[in-house]
Amino acid sequence: MFSTPGHTRDHLSFFLREPGILFPGEALGNPVMEREDLNKVEFLTSFTDYVRSIEKLMALRPFVKVIAMSHLYVYTGEDVPRFMDMALRDAHAYRELIESYLDMENGDVERATATMVRVEYDEKKSVYQERNAYVANVTAQVKAVAALRGRIDN
């Protein structure tokens, strides 16, 4: 059992060493349906903790034979390191996306959140999540990234 905060402060991941099965919960995000090359980033409480948790789980890479995701997917073989790399890559890319909305709205968290929801959810229509849940998650994520930039307290 590993403490893997970031999605939530008390998030846990589990690793069964003998069969080599990792149950990361939301610590590695979640694959985007119908997009094998994209991962939904799942930090809600702390981007820094989220990335550290990914890196902690990546350290298990030599021992992980299977990643059993919390939603829909199981990774084996060569897909294990590929997915871990994608989780880290997409976490940093998502932070950059959030920062672009904060920059667009001069650091205003509420406006950046509203713009991000309008563009990413309403216009692109590529999010597979109920709108109210998406808004709540994006609000937490924008606040967490803004806090990293010293714009608000998290």
E runs forming strands in 41-132: 66-68, 74-76
Residues 112 and 102: beta-carbon distance below 8 Å: yes
Question: According to the model, what pLDDT value does residue 153 have?
Answer: 46
Check whether residue 107 and residue 56 sit in a common domain: no
Place of tokens 């403490």: 3
Mean pLDDT of the chain: 93
Domain count, the chain: 2
Both 3 and 41 in one domain: the answer is yes
> To 10 degrees, the CA torsion angle through 136, 130, 54, 39?
-130
**Please, where are the H alpha helices in 26-74?**
47-58
In a domain, 151, yes or no: yes
**Cα–Cα distances in angstroms (integers) from residue 55 to residues 65, 113, 145, in the given order:** 17, 27, 19
Is residue 3 situated within a structural domain?
Answer: yes
* pLDDT given for residue 151 in this prediction: 58
β strands within the chain, DSSP E: 2-3, 12-16, 21-23, 30-32, 35-40, 66-68, 74-76
Residue 128, CB-side half-sphere exposure with 13 Å CA sphere: 12
pLDDT in tens, 37-95: 888 899 999 999 999 999 999 999 999 999 999 988 999 999 999 999 999 999 999 99
Range of the domain at 68: 1-77
pTM of the predicted model, to two decimals?
Answer: 0.92
* Run of H or E including 19: none
In a domain, 120, yes or no: yes
Structural domain contains residue 83: no
Does a structural domain hold residue 66?
yes
CATH number assigned to the domain comprising residue 6: 3.60.15.10
Q: Are 57 and 43 in contact (CB under 8 A)?
A: no
Per the domain annotation, does 97 fall within a domain? yes
Binned at pLDDT 50, 70 and 90, residue 152 comes out as low
94 and 64 fall within a common domain: no
> From CA 133, how far away is CA 106, in angstroms rounded?
25
Contact in structure between 80 and 57 (CB atoms under 8 Å): no
Q: Let me know whether 4 and 73 are in one domain.
A: yes
